[in-house]
């Protein structure tokens, strides 16, 4: 009797639940909400994963194709001075009637070119300086540490401004100034990594077999320390983009009529109240590029399983 009552009670609860679900919207039902939520979360994860790469590739493609695109970034049109964004020109025109969208593309070409050259020079010089100093040790290692500490004692951007002021304005002097500042981070990281690798068994075995020191550092140590150095290069790339824009903003970088995002912000600061698009367009361009590079660097660091190194 009790079992029969229990069965009837369970059936009653099921029917009551079915009746309630008939009047509940489908979006509130657990059975329909769970797949939708999972699908939405999956799409959101894909967007976060691939959007930075797509935005970065878009800027890179625009920068590479800038010479062949049908645009005239230096053409002055007096009838379009300070013209607001419209359907034909999404970012409007500047104080000389020049197309801001065309100048953004040329500015991307300038920023990416400077960043690629500076990071390449800094990576090569800093990595080999740090490896050789750690491998030789003694006087050479102490000298390298003193030089690194001397550079770190000054803020990087202030040192770059001072060097650019001494060398003079121009894109080549900007590359030289930023390269002198940027190699220190790679040298410090390469030194620490080499010190942790030089006492491993395979390095001692290669040394016992009579392998030259240069071959050991190039074939047995460098491949093992490349992962953190590549991650460091991504963050250095973003830093160089900001530094180049800062130097151009101060008039120490790319000179007119060449386009640079920093000089565009400087020119638009005078018309911030009447034409804010002159400042907002290059500002968002810098934000999008630097943010995407940093997100890709974080993702690359997670995939390579790079652990944080605490320097003492």
Residue 251 lies in a domain: yes
Same domain, yes or no: 142 and 258: yes
Same domain, yes or no: 197 and 114: yes
Beta bridge partners of 93: 99
Same domain, yes or no: 163 and 95: yes
Backbone phi, then psi, for 66, in 5-degree steps?
-60, -40
CATH number reported for the structural domain that contains residue 260 in this entry: 1.10.3720.10
Task: Give the pLDDT confidence of 174-202 residue by residue, as tens digits.
Answer: 999 999 999 999 999 999 999 888 888 88
Domain that holds residue 168: 73-304
Whole-angstrom distance, CA of residue 194 vs CA of residue 186: 12
Closest alpha carbon to 63 in 215, 252, 259, 232: 259
Residue 160 lies in a domain: yes
Whole-angstrom distance, CA of residue 235 vs CA of residue 185: 10
113 burial level (CB within 10 Å; 0-12, 13-18, 19+): middle
Omega into 257 within 30° of 0, i.e. cis?
yes
| 238 has a pLDDT exceeding 80 | yes
Closest alpha carbon to 233 in 140, 121, 158: 121
Same domain, yes or no: 7 and 77: no
Q: What is the mean pLDDT of the chain?
A: 83
Task: Give the pLDDT confidence of 55-74 residue by residue, as tens digits.
Answer: 999 999 999 998 888 888 88
**What count of Cα atoms within 13 Å lies in the side-chain half-sphere of residue 87?**
0
Closest alpha carbon to 109 in 186, 24, 171: 171
Same domain, yes or no: 168 and 41: no
The C-alpha angle 277, 278, 282, rounded to 5 degrees, equals 95
Same domain, yes or no: 104 and 55: no
The CA-atom distances, in angstroms, between 69 and each of 111, 112, 156 are 18, 17, 36
Rounded to the nearest angstrom, the gap between the alpha carbon of residue 19 and the centroid of all alpha carbons in its chain is: 55
The CA-atom distances, in angstroms, between 208 and each of 97, 213, 238 are 70, 11, 42
Same domain, yes or no: 9 and 100: no
Q: In the prediction, which pLDDT does 31 show? A: 45
Question: Who's near 113: CB < 8 A, 6+ residues apart?
Answer: 63
Which percentage of the chain shows pLDDT scores above 90?
A: 37
Residue 141 lies in a domain: yes
Closest alpha carbon to 89 in 281, 258, 309: 281
* Confidence category of residue 7, pLDDT binned at 50, 70, 90: low
Whole-angstrom distance, CA of residue 116 vs CA of residue 56: 13
Same domain, yes or no: 240 and 280: yes
| 304 has a pLDDT exceeding 80 | no
| 43 has a pLDDT exceeding 80 | no
- Token pair of 275, please? 């034409």
Same domain, yes or no: 52 and 199: no
Whole-angstrom distance, CA of residue 69 vs CA of residue 73: 11
Whole-angstrom distance, CA of residue 242 vs CA of residue 291: 11
Same domain, yes or no: 96 and 59: no
Same domain, yes or no: 194 and 96: yes
Residue 310 lies in a domain: no
User: Distance from first CA to last CA of the chain, Å, rounded?
Assistant: 77
In 137-152, which positions are buried (b, 16+ CB within 10 angstroms) versus exposed (e)? Answer: eeeebeebeeebeebe
Q: What is the dihedral of CA 194, 200, 203, 209, to 10 degrees?
A: 160
Number of domains the chain is built from: 2
* Confidence category of residue 89, pLDDT binned at 50, 70, 90: confident
Q: At what angle do helices 100-136 and 138-153 cross, to 10 degrees?
A: 150
* Confidence category of residue 27, pLDDT binned at 50, 70, 90: very low
């Amino acid at each position: 009797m009790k079992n029969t009552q229990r069965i009837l009670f369970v059936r009653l609860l099921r029917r009551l639940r079915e009746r309630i679900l008939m009047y509940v919207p489908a979006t509130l039902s657990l059975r329909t909400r769970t797949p939708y939520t999972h699908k939405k979360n999956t799409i959101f994860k894909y967007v976060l994963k691939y959007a930075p790469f797509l935005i970065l590739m878009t800027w890179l493609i625009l920068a590479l194709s800038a010479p062949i695109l049908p645009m005239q970034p230096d053409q002055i049109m007096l009838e379009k001075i300070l013209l607001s964004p419209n359907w034909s020109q999404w970012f409007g025109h500047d104080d000389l009637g020049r197309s801001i969208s065309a100048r953004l593309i040329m500015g991307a070409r300038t920023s990416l070119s400077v960043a690629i050259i500076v990071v390449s020079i800094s990576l090569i010089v800093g990595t080999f300086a740090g490896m050789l100093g750690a491998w030789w040790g003694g006087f050479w290692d102490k000298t390298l540490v003193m030089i690194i500490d001397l550079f770190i004692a000054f803020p990087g951007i202030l040192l770059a401004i001072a060097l650019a002021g001494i060398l003079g304005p121009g894109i080549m002097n900007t590359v030289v100034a930023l390269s002198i500042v940027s190699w220190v981070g790679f040298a410090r990281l390469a030194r620490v990594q080499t010190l942790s690798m030089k006492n491993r068994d395979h390095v001692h075995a290669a040394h016992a077999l009579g392998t030259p020191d240069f071959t050991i550092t190039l074939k047995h140590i460098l491949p093992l320390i490349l992962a953190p150095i590549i991650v460091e290069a991504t963050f250095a790339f973003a830093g160089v983009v900001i530094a180049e824009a800062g130097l151009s903003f101060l008039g120490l970088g790319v000179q007119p009529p060449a386009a640079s995002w920093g000089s565009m912000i400087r020119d638009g600061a005078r018309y911030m109240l009447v034409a804010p698009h002159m400042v907002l367009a290059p500002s968002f361009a810098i934000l999008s590029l630097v943010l995407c590079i940093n997100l890709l660097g974080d993702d690359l660091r997670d995939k390579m399983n790079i652990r944080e190194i605490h320097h003492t």
